[in-house]
Homo-oligomer: A and B are copies of this chain.
């Protein structure tokens, strides 16, 4: 009693029948079970090819209780930084037959809503990008027995994670500026988590640490946290330049804000790098166009390795609850805004 119309597809039973074996054997071949005679295996392969057989994903999913898909959650899809991490993830996943679903969070409130979509029957694992992993997340992951990994994680998240050594990145920037002769180096930072404006970042720690090591004075009025936007950077520089003793150099916690700093400098009649040296962070695509010296965070690598971490969880090579932290170290990219090299054409924009 055929239940539906439609051209019936080639099933494992067809393969078994034509190959003269049982379905179990075909299934074994499909799953790479070594306990199949080589001759049998070859014959089955041949039949599969001949019949154009392809196992039905949904049927496998039901039977194996896994979907061969993972969920990627990330904030603000339009930001180059996150998207590059995503591409790293995609690269790694393309080498497997695991697909990925996407969920982007536009506002902080979207997070709790997104948590509900984390389901065992939807995906086999979860990849979190640059997100504050709340107890709610952890609880949900635990409840659904879903492995997870975090790309660009906070240091103390209790999940397998790739963490960027932002402190080291900051030290790189500050040391470089000091080397160029600067003594009054300010910091305009972004919040670590795009949705948590107030958190103190590792960059701040690295910044302070570097100043101390260099024997430079720490001035709290030089430390600013402003929104993660071009305007945020502009605001930051305006504040700094109103100080009685303004800095001669600024390390900015994101290239996006650094762009704002460059604009503000121009508006204030400051010539970069002569009157003000600027170092950014991330090395997103605009950095090169702006001639911005910056600290490069290897975004693709982060994504790729986070994905690999998750794959190891899925394959069982990594035990559940096992503590794994992989550190990634940024690298200094010297361009023109710091003054170490000379002359770079302006970048346009209208007016003076």
Report A's interface with B, CB cutoff 8 A.
4, 54, 56-59, 61-62, 65, 67, 69, 77-78, 80, 83-84, 86-87, 90, 99-104, 106, 117, 119, 121-122, 230, 259-267, 271-273, 285-286, 289-292, 335-337, 343-352
Contact = CB atoms under 8 A, between A and B. Distances in A.
Given A261-B348, A265-B348, 4 more contacts: A291-B350, A292-B350, A346-B346, A347-B349
A337 to B, nearest CB: 5
Contacts of A67: 58
A335 B351 CA distance: 11
Contact of A78 (B58, B80, B121, B267): B80
A77 B69 contact: no
Contact of A101 (B78, B100, B262, B291): B100
A346 B263 contact: yes
A153 B24 CA distance: 46
A351 B351 CA distance: 15
Nearest to A68: B122
Contacts of A86: 77
A285 B78 contact: yes
Interface centre among A102, A286, A351 (most CB of B within 10 A): A351
A273 B352 CA distance: 11
Contact of A350 (B56, B83, B90, B335): B335
Please name the 9 residue pairs, one residue from A and one from B, whose CB atoms are nearest each other, closest first. Answer: A262-B348, A347-B349, A291-B350, A263-B348, A58-B61, A336-B350, A57-B121, A344-B351, A58-B62
A108 to B, nearest CB: 16
Contact of A87 (B59, B104, B273): B104
Contacts of A273: 350
A77 to B, nearest CB: 5
A99 B122 contact: yes
A280 to B, nearest CB: 11
A75 to B, nearest CB: 12
Contacts of A344: 349-351
A84 to B, nearest CB: 7
Contacts of A104: 87, 90
A78 B69 contact: no
Contacts of A230: 289
Nearest to A102: B102
Nearest to A103: B90
Contact of A102 (B100, B346, B352): B100
Contacts of A261: 348
A83 B77 contact: yes
